[in-house]
Amino acid sequence: AQSVTQLDSQVPVFEEAPVELRCNYSSSVSVYLFWYVQYPNQGLQLLLKYLSGSTLVKGINGFEAEFNKSQTSFHLRKPSVHISDTAEYFCAVSDQGTYKYIFGTGTRLKVLA
Amino acid sequence: GAVVSQHPSRVICKSGTSVKIECRSLDFQATTMFWYRQFPKQSLMLMATSNEGSKATYEQGVEKDKFLINHASLTLSTLTVTSAHPEDSSFYICSARGGAGNTIYFGEGSWLTVV
């Protein structure tokens, strides 16, 4: 079984500052890793995913994440945030066989002017 | 790119009635679809896996007689909430597996409010 832990439920940050949203996972099998963003009253939008290969993954809207197998982490980063980045961010894992997603509890990023 | 569409996006129903939510893959065939629900300010929880032409597989704790799932074609899965109660009010979102590389695509979600 897999699990995902997002340690921070809320992260306030000033506009143009860098941000890191933390995600740790546990799994006994190889997994795929994802970050999704959910804007208020909307569905999920894929930011980026790690399937294999390079551990540094670049996504949309200037976000990137680094897969660290030894630390079982997949932290999301952005060097300079905008007001429009205010949203809920979900980390998710999927084992490579079932395509079922296990989501973390989410981190609410609030960008302050 | 591939798109998964859900309908309706918002629905309000009376307690005791049933409501159906559709999940369609618009430009690819989806042999497998997944249904999730999200309570306010919480994460998404997998409810069931829907396989075309066979019975859905429900996650532990999900009542299969209350949440009826039908995957009658390779592009459509439906979730019917039967005898809905206010506690069923939630955000229901589907995902579909298919297209190039068996990618997972999420729908836009459906807000259900039971009054």
Q: What pLDDT digit, counting tens, does each position of A61-112 carry?
A: 999 999 999 999 999 999 999 999 999 999 999 987 778 899 999 999 999 9
Give yes or no for residue B1 having a pLDDT over 60: no
Question: Which residue in A41, A43, A46 is closest to B93 by CB distance?
Answer: A43
Q: Map residue A67 onto helix, strand or coil.
A: strand
Task: Measure B107 CA to nearest chain A CA, in Å.
Answer: 7
d(CA A108, CA A58): 21
**Are B110 and B22 contacting, i.e. CB atoms less than 8 angstroms apart?**
no
Task: Over range A20-25, report the average pLDDT.
Answer: 97
pLDDT at res. A8: 93
Task: Measure A54 CA to nearest chain B CA, in Å.
Answer: 18
pLDDT band at B27 (very low <50, low <70, confident <90, very high): confident
d(CA B36, CA A4): 16
Q: Show residues of chain A in contact with B93, CB under 8 Å.
A: 43-44
* Amino acid identity at A59: G
Cite the beta strand spans of chain B per DSSP E. Answer: 4-7, 10-13, 19-25, 30-38, 44-51, 57-58, 67-73, 76-81, 90-98, 103-106, 110-114
Of A55-64, A99-108, B12-21, B96-105, least confident by mean pLDDT is B96-105
Question: Which residue in A42, A90, A94 is closest to B108 by CB distance?
Answer: A42
Task: Over range B5-32, report the average pLDDT.
Answer: 94
d(CA B6, CA B47): 16
